[in-house]
Structure formats: C-alpha cells, structure tokens
Amino acid sequence: MHTIRVDTPSAKYDVITGSGLLGTLAPRIVRVAGKLPRRVFVLTSPEIWALWGDVFLKSFSDPPITLFLAPGEKHKTMQSVEKLLRQMITAGGDRGSLLIAFGGGIVGDVGGFLAAIFMRGIRYVQVPTTFLAQVDSSVGGKTGVNLPEGKNLVGSFHHPVAVLADIDVLGTLPDRELRAGLMESIKAGIIRDRSLVRFMEENSDEVLDRDSRALEKVIAASIRMKAGVVNRDERENGLRMILNLGHTVGHAIEQATRYKVLLHGEAVGWGMIASLYVAHRRKSITGAQAARLENLIHLYGPLPTLKLRAPKLIAATGGDKKNVDGVRRFVLPVGIGDAGVIEDLTSAELHAAVSYMLSQAKEPRA
C-alpha cells in the first residue's frame, strides 16, 4: 500500500494505491469525508459494475445510488452530463451529497465534472479502474467532457477528497488497455524519474504479467510524479505543461482518427516518438537516449499502425487547447528524467517529426 499526498493551494488529499481497497471503500471514505451523507452517488460503467459491483457494495450499509455512463468517448458529452445531473436531482441529491467516480478515465472525467457543477460543487472520490486512470487522470483535479469540435474542451479544476486506486481491479483489464496505460508511466519516467525508466526496462515481463509487486511499484511511482508536478503547478500555468509530453501530436492523432482507432495511451505513445525526434534534433537528448526511449515505448507496445497523412495530422495540432494565444508550445524531454516546454516549434520541425513517426507507424513492427 502506498499513500501519496496531493497538496495544492485549493485542495489537500491522499492518493492511495494497493490491494484490497475496493472491499473497504465505505470506512475509507468516512475517514476523509466524515459520516456519509443522505445521498451517495456512484457513477460507473455497466461493464465495471457487472464485474466489480458486488465487491464495491460490500462495505456500504446503505447502497449508493447507481448512475451509469455508457462506455466510449462518444458519451463523454454535455448531453450525458445534463442527463446525469437531472438523475441526481430526481434522486434527491443536494449540496451535501457525495459522488464516487468508479471506472476508467472517462467515468472519472465526467464524474469529476458532475461533482464540480452539481449545485455549484459537491465532494467526490475517485476510484479509478483502469491503469491509465490510476496513474494519470484520477490525480490532479482535471475534469470535463468533449465538444464535437474537440476533446476536453469543457471542464473544471475540481479535486476529489480522495483517490483510491485498487490494483486488484486491474485483473480484469484487457491487455491492450494495460499496455496503453503504461505509456503514461513511460512518460512519467521520461520527464521526471529515470529510475522508473530503468525499472520498466528491466521488469517489462513482470509488469505486463501483472505481477502485483511490479505493478504497484510502477503505479506508485507514476502517481508520485504526477502529484509532485500538480503540487507545484495546480492550474497548468507552467511546470504542469510538461505532463503533456507526447500529447500535442497524440491528441492530433486521436482527433484525426475521430477517437475511434486508438486508445489515448497509444496515441500518446506515438506522440512521444514524435517528441523524441524533435528533442534529438534540438540536442536536448542524445541519439542514444532517443533510441533507448523509443525502444522502451515499443517494449510496451505494440502501438497500432496509423494510416494518416502528415498534413492532416499537422492541421489537427492547431486546435489543441494547450496553445495559449496561438503560441506553438511543445514539450521536449531533456535527457532522461527531465523535460521542458518550448514555444517556438517551427512548422518544419513539426512536419519532420510527424513524418518520422508516421513512417514507423505505417506497418506493424517486426
């Protein structure tokens, strides 16, 4: 069991990861939030609820009111939010109510956003069930939904009162989702934790076999990195931007494929390969480091092939919300274990990086 503290100007709470958390949720929530209110909601997906609903309910004397979000980005919408808010009102929710977001990243983002805007804000707990949600999206208070124009364009910063990441739940996670989630751990290592990079290089079999010791170590290190960055820059005004390594191109890939072909982590994997290319060209990493990190990414692959053309992908990077006032910001690794943000990425660099990445992505890796 690892406990990692998030401590920002607007919120302080623990992220706990380990085994056996799900069956003991209620007392854990009471410990941080006090006596459970009259209405406790759980937002979840039908799949997760079918697999883990019984374990979830074990520690509650009064079962929470269940709200369902159908799976997939296409349900991460304002319409879903409105429907769920109305269900919460109808079920008697009030300003004292508490919400538990029990699912993957989409459930976490939508659940957090519901909690942020229901009656101008209620408390919530994140109980992430995917690797990606455990190491990344559940920590940091970012919540929101998509618009037809792009991903995560609407939302709030609203921190949970606790994050409880039970690694046992990963037992039912499809292999592809695990591998995709591990891309964010690779990112964590690249930008802040070279010992995590080495651990992931040396223990890829154990991690991919879901050895619980290895998995817990990677998850805790990833969360520690994320929490450390969030603690120093809650609102993404500076340092927090380094968390977007691989995300400018990654989001563009997701957008150009209409969120239908790749998992988020997979898109970030390809996006990191584009970033490594720029970093090497700018000499912020050596050729050997670039090759080593590229190998690590493929070690946790395979990343799906892409049938995209560079101009389309480059156009899609323009709508990324990390661009403040049109400046072309881009995150680059600095050696292994550090990263920085450049604001002067040229079209030529972006074009070269995207072309390099697409040439790798054209066919399955031997």
Kindly name the residue from 247, 254, 280, 328 that is annotated as catalytic: 247
- Of 101 and 169, nearer to a copy of itself (C-beta) is 101
Kindly name the residue from 264, 266, 280, 328 that is annotated as catalytic: 264
260 classed as catalytic = no
- Of 148 and 287, nearer to a copy of itself (C-beta) is 148
Kindly name the residue from 146, 231, 234, 244 that is annotated as catalytic: 244
Bridge partners (DSSP) of residue 15 are 4, 163
- Of 187 and 240, nearer to a copy of itself (C-beta) is 240
Q: Quick count: other Cβ atoms within 10 Å of Cβ 251?
A: 25
- Of 179 and 328, nearer to a copy of itself (C-beta) is 328
Query: Under 8 Å CB-to-CB from 202, ≥6 apart: which residues?
Result: none
In angstroms and rounded to an integer, the radius of gyration of the C-alpha atoms of the chain is 20
For residue 171, the minimal CB distance to a copy of itself (Å) is 33
For residue 156, the minimal CB distance to a copy of itself (Å) is 6
* Angle of CA points 197, 200, 205, to nearest 5°: 165
226 classed as catalytic = yes
Kindly name the residue from 28, 179, 184, 254 that is annotated as catalytic: 184
- Of 95 and 282, nearer to a copy of itself (C-beta) is 95
- Of 70 and 147, nearer to a copy of itself (C-beta) is 147
Handedness of CA 89, 92, 94, 100 (dihedral sign): negative
CB 29 within 8 A of CB 125: yes
**CA 35, CA 331: separation in Å to the nearest integer?**
44
* Residue with the two structure tokens 């494929």: 257
Closest CA to 262 of 221, 224, 306, 299: 306
349 classed as catalytic = no
Kindly name the residue from 236, 292, 298, 322 that is annotated as catalytic: 236
203 classed as catalytic = no
Closest CA to 153 of 322, 345, 338, 343: 322
- Of 155 and 246, nearer to a copy of itself (C-beta) is 155
* Angle of CA points 105, 111, 113, to nearest 5°: 105
Query: Under 8 Å CB-to-CB from 275, ≥6 apart: which residues?
Result: 245, 246, 249, 330, 331, 332, 333, 353
* Angle of CA points 174, 132, 299, to nearest 5°: 70
Distance of alpha carbon 270 from its chain centroid, rounded? 16
For residue 157, the minimal CB distance to a copy of itself (Å) is 6
Please give the structure tokens belonging to residue 355. 């072309």
For residue 223, the minimal CB distance to a copy of itself (Å) is 21
For residue 92, the minimal CB distance to a copy of itself (Å) is 8
Kindly name the residue from 226, 254, 266, 349 that is annotated as catalytic: 226
**CA 183, CA 265: separation in Å to the nearest integer?**
5
* Angle of CA points 162, 168, 172, to nearest 5°: 115
Q: Quick count: other Cβ atoms within 10 Å of Cβ 138?
A: 31
Kindly name the residue from 39, 75, 76, 142 that is annotated as catalytic: 142
Please give the residue ranges that form the binding site for a copy of itself (CB under 8 A).
Answer: 10, 37-38, 78-79, 81-82, 85-86, 89-90, 94-96, 116-121, 142-144, 147-150, 153-157, 319, 321-326
247 classed as catalytic = yes
For residue 88, the minimal CB distance to a copy of itself (Å) is 9
184 classed as catalytic = yes
Q: List phi, psi (to 5°) of 334.
A: -120, 105
73 classed as catalytic = no
236 classed as catalytic = yes
For residue 154, the minimal CB distance to a copy of itself (Å) is 5
Q: Which residues belong to the active site?
A: 120, 142, 184, 226, 236, 240, 244, 247, 251, 264
